[in-house]
């Protein structure tokens, strides 16, 4: 059963020859144009493809492609802080529209047709000690994955299966608003476990706080906890980067995605199915069908312009504030979730009990024995009584229906829209 499912999933994650040729063409054309412009600007740098496109671990439908603008080390080793400025001179002449994005070293983004390109300036180093900036390590990460795939060709398709599985089950992505597994971390784990199924078998047994040291940099795991930055050791699973021993490749992982992966891994191993590899597209109609004897509320939230990670965090923050407002108004959320594809409006959805709240509620005050606070409470609330040792007063509710609260929130935030109440 598992073999048949994996064979079917393998077809799902394998790019067609046409896709491979199209990607290869766009990469070579882009690199050639930019290199030509760099030469024209008398800048000694190569343009090298990075990310999954360089490793051959990309999935069908790829639209994001990373490039390194690799500067000659001998010439630019003492000009690390200026590399972004040098790169910009060439990028702005190749792309009419581009964005300079801030990072440990500024990098650039541009769109061409369906593709979204990122150009990262790096010093072309051969030894770790030569790095002047953390981004200088990036090409070495790519080289490490490629070396392992060359040694075991099967790993390429195994990594693709793993990425598809993680994406389909919504645990893929190291962005702050996702807090999942990055593509690079999935590659490292698949290589370490020698395949996709072994990765899932291992995942089921992972314990919170566990450390995985692929290259065995630390003879004693406790040493890692002393050497590494404490802020980078807060994730439930710690993955020592195979290139940078002091880096946790899973620093962005949150407990929710960690536990979800363990759950879906166990589910697949118990009863394999192609559904574990299929994207669950957001569908308001499907959510309505699943509401049963519950009220369903759907809210649309317009994203701001900016870096996806920053925009996603703001959307998540709004979602949390809506949940908090509901809880403070005594609305019991039975089930909830949110969805954003990184481009279009986000959606927040909630299932709540059908019945509306009572018109009045008991507002609790301080313990009656705290005389000063009790006196102040009685001054503010006439008719306060003692209930089980605490002062309390019956007051009128502001909201008896959740949509009343939502409409008030929308008045103060024009990016929100009440899309559906069922």
185 is written with which tokens?
A: 């971390």
Q: Max CA-CA distance within the chain?
A: 83
What are the C-alpha distances in Å from 74 to residues 77, 120, 121? 6, 19, 15
Distance, CA of 344 to CA of 47 (rounded, Å):
32
User: What burial class does residue 169 get, using C-beta atoms within 10 Å of its C-beta: 0-12 exposed, 13-18 middle, 19+ buried?
Assistant: buried
- Encoded tokens for 45: 């740098």
Nearest to 393 by CA among 372, 379, 413: 379
Tens-digit pLDDT profile for residues 237-270: 999 999 999 999 999 999 999 999 999 999 999 9
Domains in the chain, please, with CATH? 17-145 (3.30.460.10), 152-277 (1.10.1410.30), 284-356+401-420 (3.30.70.590), 360-396 (3.30.70)
Task: Please state the φ and ψ torsions of residue 65, each to the nearest 5 degrees.
Answer: -130, 130
The pLDDT score that the predictor gives to residue 382 is: 87
DSSP-based three-state secondary structure for 340: coil
DSSP, residue by residue, 32-66? HHHHHHHHHTT--EEEEE-HHHHHT-PPTT--EEE
How many Cβ atoms from other residues are within 10 Å of residue 121's Cβ?
27
pLDDT tens digits, 5-61? 999 999 999 999 999 999 999 999 999 999 999 999 999 999 999 999 999 999 999
Evaluate if residue 306 carries a pLDDT over 90.
no
Confirm if 241 and 249 have CB atoms less than 8 A apart.
Answer: yes
Q: What pTM does this model have?
A: 0.88
List, in order, residues 6 or more apart from 216 with CB less than 8 Å away. Answer: none
Is 1 a residue whose pLDDT tops 80?
no
Spatial distance between the Cα atoms of 134 and 121, rounded to a whole number of angstroms: 11
Residue that wins the pLDDT comparison between 225 and 401:
401
Q: What's the confidence (pLDDT) of residue 371?
A: 87
pLDDT tens digit string along 148-167?
Answer: 999 999 999 999 999 999 99
Structure tokens at 203: 């995942």
The pLDDT, as a whole number, for residue 307 is: 81
Is residue 258 within 8 Å of 237, Cβ to Cβ?
A: yes
**pLDDT tens digits, one per residue of 328-370:** 999 999 999 999 988 899 999 999 999 899 999 989 999 989 9
- Tokens 């019991």 sit at which residue? 332
Share of the chain above pLDDT 90, in %: 82
Q: Alpha-carbon dihedral of residues 348, 353, 359, 365, nearest 10 degrees?
A: -80
Degrees (nearest 5) of the Cα angle 19, 23, 27? Answer: 175
Mean pLDDT score across all residues of the chain: 94
Distance CA 269, CA 258 (A): 17
Residue 78, pLDDT score:
96
Number of Cβ atoms within 10 Å of the Cβ of 81: 10
Q: What is the pLDDT of residue 146?
A: 97
* Token digits of residue 315: 């959307």
Alpha-carbon gap, residue 160 to 143, rounded angstroms: 17
């Amino acid at each position: 059963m598992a073999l048949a499912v994996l064979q079917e999933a393998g077809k799902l994650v394998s790019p067609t020859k046409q896709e491979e040729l199209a990607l290869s063409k766009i990469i070579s054309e882009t690199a050639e144009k930019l290199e030509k412009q760099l030469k024209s600007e008398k800048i000694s740098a190569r343009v090298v493809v990075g990310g999954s496109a360089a490793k051959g671990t990309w999935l069908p439908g790829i639209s994001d492609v990373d490039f390194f603008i690799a500067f000659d080390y001998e010439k630019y080793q003492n000009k690390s802080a200026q590399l972004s400025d040098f790169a910009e001179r060439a990028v702005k002449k190749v792309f009419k529209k581009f964005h300079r994005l801030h990072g440990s070293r500024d990098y650039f983004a541009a769109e061409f047709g369906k593709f979204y390109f990122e150009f990262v300036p790096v010093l072309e180093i051969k030894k770790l000690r030569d790095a002047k900036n953390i981004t200088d390590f990036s090409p070495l990460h790519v080289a490490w994955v490629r070396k392992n795939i060359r040694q075991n060709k099967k790993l390429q398709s195994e990594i693709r299966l793993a990425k598809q599985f993680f994406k389909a089950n919504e645990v893929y992505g190291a962005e702050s608003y996702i807090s999942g597994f990055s593509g690079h971390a999935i590659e490292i784990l698949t290589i370490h476990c020698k395949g996709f199924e072994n990765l899932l078998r291992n995942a089921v047994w992972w314990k919170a706080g566990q450390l995985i040291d692929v290259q065995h940099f630390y003879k004693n795991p406790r040493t890692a906890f002393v050497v590494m930055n404490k802020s980078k050791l807060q994730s439930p699973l710690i993955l020592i980067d195979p290139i940078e021993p002091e880096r946790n490749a899973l620093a962005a992982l949150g407990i929710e995605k960690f536990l979800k992966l363990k759950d879906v891994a166990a589910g697949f191993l118990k009863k394999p199915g192609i559904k574990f590899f299929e994207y669950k597209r957001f569908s308001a109609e499907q959510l309505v069908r699943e509401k049963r004897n519950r009220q369903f509320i759907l809210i649309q939230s317009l994203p701001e312009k900016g870096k996806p990670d920053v925009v996603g965090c703001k959307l998540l923050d709004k979602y949390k504030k809506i949940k908090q407002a509901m809880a403070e108004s005594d609305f019991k959320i039975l089930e909830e979730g949110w969805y954003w594809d990184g481009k279009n409006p986000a959606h927040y959805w909630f299932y709540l009990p059908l019945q509306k709240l009572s018109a009045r509620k008991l507002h609790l005050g301080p313990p009656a024995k705290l005389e000063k606070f009790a006196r102040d409470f009685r001054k503010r609330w006439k008719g306060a009584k003692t209930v089980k040792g605490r002062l309390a007063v019956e007051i009128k509710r502001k909201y008896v229906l959740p949509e009343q609260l939502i409409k008030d929130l929308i008045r103060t935030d024009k990016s929100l829209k009440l899309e559906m109440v069922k």
